[in-house]
Structure 1
Amino acid sequence: MFEVLVFVYENYWRGDACPESPQLGRKLSAVGFDADEIEEALRWLDGLHQASHSPDLALTAPILPVEAIAFPATDSLRIYSVAEQDHLGAECLGFVSFLETAGVLAPMMREIVLDRAMAANGSPVTLDDLKIIILMVYWSFGEEPDALVLDELCDDASDRVAH
């Protein structure tokens, strides 16, 4: 699925420039992606679209009315559930915390990142996959992270040499 998401990110500069699911599915199939990967990616992208265009509805529990949910304040403390800790792992949660502390991942965007990471297969989610998810969240809002953040999200840490 993540290869499909990278293709979409590279070929459609913003979420609103991306074609509707049926047309995108045909394009991805013509490029040569597997039908199962395409279906999984389209489902994931639909969830991302819902979360980024109506975050109140996408992130609320079905038993609570929308008006009962408040988005986190910038100075709030996020406590991760056991399921989130298990699915994301310490490395991914540490990276999310790093981006938040650096001031480049707002609390609302963090919640969408976590929602989409929880919807991704793989347990725990790898750091490389989380970086793709973060890029896709920025993409869905039509934003591009600043150059240093983009470098951090796209850089392959395995090529780094320790000093």
Structure 2
Amino acid sequence: MLDILVYLYESFRMAELAPDRDALEKRLFAAGFEEAHINATLDWFANLTSSAAHDRLAHAHYRHYAPEELESLNDACRDEISYLVGAEILDPESREWVISGLMALAGEDVEPDHVRWMTLIVLWSRGLIEHFTHLEEMLLNHEPGRLH
């Protein structure tokens, strides 16, 4: 899933410039991605881009992880998420989408790099990145704990 999302991010610097779903499916299949992965990823992406904001999340400052999240997201990943929230890069709703995306990476060992990429994908798709090149540089080329 993450490979497909990164491909979309790198191919369309603005999410709204991506072609319709049928054209995306054909393009992704031609790029060598499997149909089942394409459909699952595009379904998740469609939910992300079309979902309404949840008022209750605006005041959600603390996050308790469910047992399956604790199993999938190691301490380093949870620390990275916490850091991104503390640095005000992720708002609570974006944080939930990042966690949702990471949990959808079934069968993969999730690492802090996955957290950073998923953060870029979520912010990009929600139109929350004004200067994504700078944020991309900060997120993908920093040492853990040194994002400034």
TM bracket (short chain): 0.7 to 0.9
- After TM superposition, the score normalised by the length of structure 2 is 0.79
Q: C-alpha deviations, 1:80-127, integer Å up to 9, x for none?
A: 222211121111110001111112111121122122222222354222
User: Equivalent residue for 2:52?
Assistant: 54
* Residue of 76, 86, 95 corresponding to 2:71: 86
User: Equivalent residue for 1:12?
Assistant: 12
Q: In structure 2, what is the Cα distance between the partners aligned to 1:149 and 1:92?
A: 19
- After TM superposition, the score normalised by the length of structure 1 is 0.73
Task: Quote the RMSD (CA, aligned, Å).
Answer: 2.4
Q: In structure 1, what is the Cα distance between the partners aligned to 2:33 and 2:106?
A: 17
The unaligned stretches of length 5 or more in structure 1 are 57-68, 158-163
> Higher mean Cα deviation, 76-85 or 87-96?
76-85
Structure 2 residue 26 is the aligned partner of structure 1 residue 40: no
Aligned pair count reads 142
Confirm or deny: 8 A CA contact 2:14 2:124 kept in the other structure: yes
Decide which structure has the larger Cα Rg and report it: 1
Confirm or deny: 8 A CA contact 1:100 1:106 kept in the other structure: yes
Q: In structure 1, what is the Cα distance between the partners aligned to 2:133 and 2:13?
A: 16
Q: In structure 2, what is the Cα distance between the partners aligned to 1:139 and 1:41?
A: 15
Q: In structure 2, what is the Cα distance between the partners aligned to 1:148 and 1:11?
A: 18
Letter aligned with residue 38 of structure 2: I
The unaligned stretches of length 5 or more in structure 2 are 144-148
Letter aligned with residue 37 of structure 1: H
User: Equivalent residue for 2:106?
Assistant: 121
Deviation of 1:41 after TM superposition, in Å, equals 2.2
> Higher mean Cα deviation, 115-124 or 22-31?
115-124
SS of the residue corresponding to residue 71 of structure 1 reads helix
Q: In structure 1, what is the Cα distance between the partners aligned to 2:20 and 2:11?
A: 14
User: Equivalent residue for 1:66?
Assistant: none
Structure 2 residue 139 is the aligned partner of structure 1 residue 153: yes
User: Equivalent residue for 2:59?
Assistant: 73
Letter aligned with residue 35 of structure 1: E
Letter aligned with residue 11 of structure 2: N
User: Equivalent residue for 1:96?
Assistant: 81
**In the superposition, relative to structure 1, how do residues 86 and 105 fare at CA in structure 2: closer, same or farther (>3 Å)?**
same
SS of the residue corresponding to residue 70 of structure 1 reads helix
